[in-house]
Amino acid sequence: METAVPIIDIEPLRCGSVEQRQRVGNLIGDACRTSGFFYVVGHGISSDEFDQLDELSRQFFALTIAQKMAIRMELGGRAWRGYFPVGDELTKGLPDQKEGIYFGAELPSDHPKVVTATPLHGSNLFPAPESFSAALEFRQAVLNYLETMTSLGHLLMEGVALSLQLEASYFDRYTADPLVLFRIFHYPPLPSTAASLESEDSELQGQWSVGEHTDYGLLTILRQDETGGLQIKSQSQWIEAAPIAGSLICNIGDMLDRMTGGLFRSTPHRVKNRSNRGRLSFPFFFDPNFDAEIKPIRDEIEDDALARWDGESVHQFEGNYGDYVMNKVSRVFPDLGREQLP
């Protein structure tokens, strides 16, 4: 399939020679300097794992709103887990036209970060079998996916390190205990008037399933269904990132932009579901340790704050990754943030 977004076979990262691994790293580097997005194939993940999670997710979103709200995010507290209905998540202050569930690494109550009430750490919320007959299968599928994607995140960051002519293990100092965040999003069909609007600049309420934004961390690994609707801003042009069977699509986040001094730019993207059916997407965010201090890899800085979607510089904030991400997520769910976080 022809696409403006590179397709990279990462199988050599899993089992190739040193030279083959470096070639994959070079391809990843080229993609990060140009489109900021790339498809990956050869990841070794069974299609059955994707298909099972897709089917169980569709069953969950088909539940009544009352059944879904039984695991609403307010119940997740500082762990920032659970379900939110359409319109509750904001991008640039406007409600996104999607519903979803937030998950993260499943941590026991005696984990040090849970004991100290560190935000974004804790246990997940899952539906009860009384309201969702496939609840146990859904729980196990999500936990399996978290484990699979965490392993893939480490592998891909080895490729990113090689792309920068660094040791493959370079990013381990930042990801020994990565903040992994997993979302399952359902995008209902937009109203016909919103779905047909093509203006590039308008951010009218209801026009976009998700408005223009960048991701916060190191790397996002996305599984999308066959519906389409993802758009990325490459070379100042919006292009479609159409689904490709068997692939995952990756993009770099703000922290990799910061670490590379703007050599790799976190790329704006958005979603518009123009179809007449619900769209599912499964973004997995592989982020630095919550308390990691993010330091530049190179001395040169190419700051593009004026050109960014939010007008903010990723190169000038002070603090660790937890400070950065909490400032961002409190804007996404402002009411929840005021209730649950300092």
Of 187, 309, 312, residue with least CA distance to 238: 309
Which CATH number characterizes residue 97's domain?
A: 2.60.120.330
Q: Is 31 part of a structural domain of the chain?
A: yes
Q: Is 201 part of a structural domain of the chain?
A: yes
Number of Cβ within a 10 Å radius of residue 66: 8
Mean pLDDT, residues 161-171 taken together: 97
Mean pLDDT, residues 285-311 taken together: 79
Q: Is 171 part of a structural domain of the chain?
A: yes
* Structural domains counted in the chain: 1
Tell me which residue range forms the domain holding 312: 7-340
Of 76, 58, 3, residue with least CA distance to 247: 3
Q: Is 221 part of a structural domain of the chain?
A: yes
At residue 44, the pLDDT reads: 96
Q: How far apart are CA 274 and CA 234, in angstroms?
A: 21
Mean pLDDT, residues 205-215 taken together: 79
Per-residue confidence at 230, pLDDT binned at 50, 70, 90? very high
The DSSP symbol for 119 reads T
Q: Is 74 part of a structural domain of the chain?
A: yes
Share of the chain above pLDDT 70, in %: 89
Q: How far apart are CA 210 and CA 203, in angstroms?
A: 10
Q: Is 230 part of a structural domain of the chain?
A: yes
The DSSP symbol for 319 reads S
Q: Is 2 part of a structural domain of the chain?
A: no
Q: Is 128 part of a structural domain of the chain?
A: yes
Residue type (1 letter), 309: W
Q: What is the pTM of this model?
A: 0.91
